[in-house]
Structures are given as structure tokens and as C-alpha cells.
Structure 1
């Protein structure tokens, strides 16, 4: 079984600010496992670096996927299309490779599996899913965060 994993957790500089979220526990967990590295935001054609984005006004990823809510950048640009496109590409890769598990970066508007930010760019976390995480879950793929890997 192949595993989908957020590239930033492996040290790839694909985070919004051009950095990464390297996580040694994830790297150790993946030793001797078959995995595929993704970055849904990069796959959706967002630049690196990029202006931070959040799902707006405590809305859900399901609402974004149904075009009932938006993902906006901190400067007010509607970047919803990029997030949905990247999530769809990640899902296509997961399906093509029969992936049943994804380890994604929590807090991300794409990859958050336990929490996201509330959409006001004030650093307030709320329970919720990122767009890609939710799409993968809606299609039967288990999504966990770096905090769930021990």
C-alpha cells in the first residue's frame, strides 16, 4: 500500500513562505514504506512563496468543494480554484496508486486533518479539515496529521 504524504513534512520547501515543516517522526515512520510526495497547493499552481490563505469565516472544506465557500489569500484574492484543482490532482494520484492513507500537514487550508485557521488571519485555530484532506476522506482515504504519527 502506498501512502500520500505532504512534501513539506519531508523537508521540501513548498510551504507558503518558501520553507518547510520537516518532521522527523514522519520521516522515520515512512522508512521502508512506499509513499508518494505531494503538495496540493503547488499542484494547484500556487507559487512558492505565496501569500497565506485560509478558508473564510469558519466555513468547512465541504462547503468549499461545493462552491458554497471560498479560500481567500490574506490580501483578499480568491484562490479557491487553485485549492480545488490541487486537491483533485492529489485524489487522482491517490486513486491511481491505490493509496489508503495520507499523512498531511495539520493546520493547512489544503492538508489540515484536525484543525485549520478560522479565516480571519489572526492565528485562531478551529476544528476542521483542509480542502485536500476532506476530498481524500470523502473518497475513502484515511487522513492523519504529523501529530498522529508516533
Structure 2
């Protein structure tokens, strides 16, 4: 059975920077819970970051890939550099995905960690940038198919197609 790494905030855990959650209500989530497919993680909490914590963004309209390569930093609104924590968070998420056999990830969009459709541009002004967060970037580099919470229908279709192809192979 194919496993899916999922952002803890999407599962209703109050782990976001503001101490909130963003539960994703969808029939597939209910089915995947019943099937035991979901592996839940908050990358930032896995790296020891507190809840709540100051908002953070990738500076300079950069991407998670830029952070991983050392070309950009993740900074808090107060100016604190949390790049190391976000890299550690991504490494923890990848290690868990590998350990549990996750081939897919369903992550909350907009986060400097989990964003896969967009992140904020580093100005703390609400401006969005089409880019990956640090965790999403590392998971993609490792060959894990990453979907945002807005792409759950696409993940359902991909999972269905992949499992049908596996069932048809000798």
C-alpha cells in the first residue's frame, strides 16, 4: 500500500506558527486514515521549533531549492535566521518518508517549509511567489511526488492510476 506523508496541520493538529491548524476535510483523507496510509509530520516541530513561533519566510523572493543550496536564508519577521532549523526540518521529513515508504506527500501550501505551489516572497507583505518551501523541495529532489492541499484531487487521481498500473503488472 502506498503511503502519504502529510502536514500535521492538515490533520487538525495545532502546530502552525500561529498555534492554529488548517484541517483538510475531504473524503479521501477519511479513507486514507482508515487504510492506514497517512504518515503525519510537522517538519518545524520535528526540528524543535516551538508553537507558536514567529512568522518566517524565505528572504529575497528565493525558493526552498535556494535555501538547500545555501543561496538563501529563512528568516523570522523579527530578523532571526532560522535557516538551520528549516533545513533540519526538511531532513527529518525526508528521513520519515523514506523510513515509512512514503512515495507521495500532501503538504500545506504557503509555508516556507511545506509550500509546493507557493511561498511568500520574504517581505512579510503577503506577496506570493510560485515556489517550493524547503521541505517540499527536498522531498521532490528525493523523487517523492509532492502535492499541495489544493491539489488533493490530483493526488487521488495519481494514487489511483499508480495502484492500477501496479495491479496490472506481472
Bucket of the pairwise TM-score, normalised by the shorter protein: over 0.9
Give the C-alpha shift of residue 29 in structure 1.
Answer: 5.5
Aligned 1:110-125 pairs, distance under 5 A? 110-125=113-128
Task: Name the count of aligned residue pairs.
Answer: 150
Deviations 1:72-115 (A, max 9, x none): 00000000000000100110011111210000000000000100
Q: What SS does the aligned partner of 2:49 have? A: coil
Asked if 1:23 is matched to 2:24, the reply is yes
Larger Rg: 2
Give the C-alpha shift of residue 67 in structure 1.
Answer: 1.4
2:84 to 60, 65, 81: 81
Output the TM-score relative to the length of structure 2.
Answer: 0.85
Please give the alpha-carbon distance, in whole angstroms, between the structure 2 residues aligned to 1:149 and 1:139. Answer: 21
Name the one with the larger helix percent: 2
Give the C-alpha shift of residue 30 in structure 1.
Answer: 2.6
2:62 to 52, 59, 63: 59
Please give the alpha-carbon distance, in whole angstroms, between the structure 2 residues aligned to 1:102 and 1:143. Answer: 5
Distance 1:68 1:37, change over 3 A: same
Q: Choose between structure 1 and 2 for higher RCO, CA contacts under 8 A separated by at least 6 residues.
A: 1
Unaligned runs of 5+ in 1: none
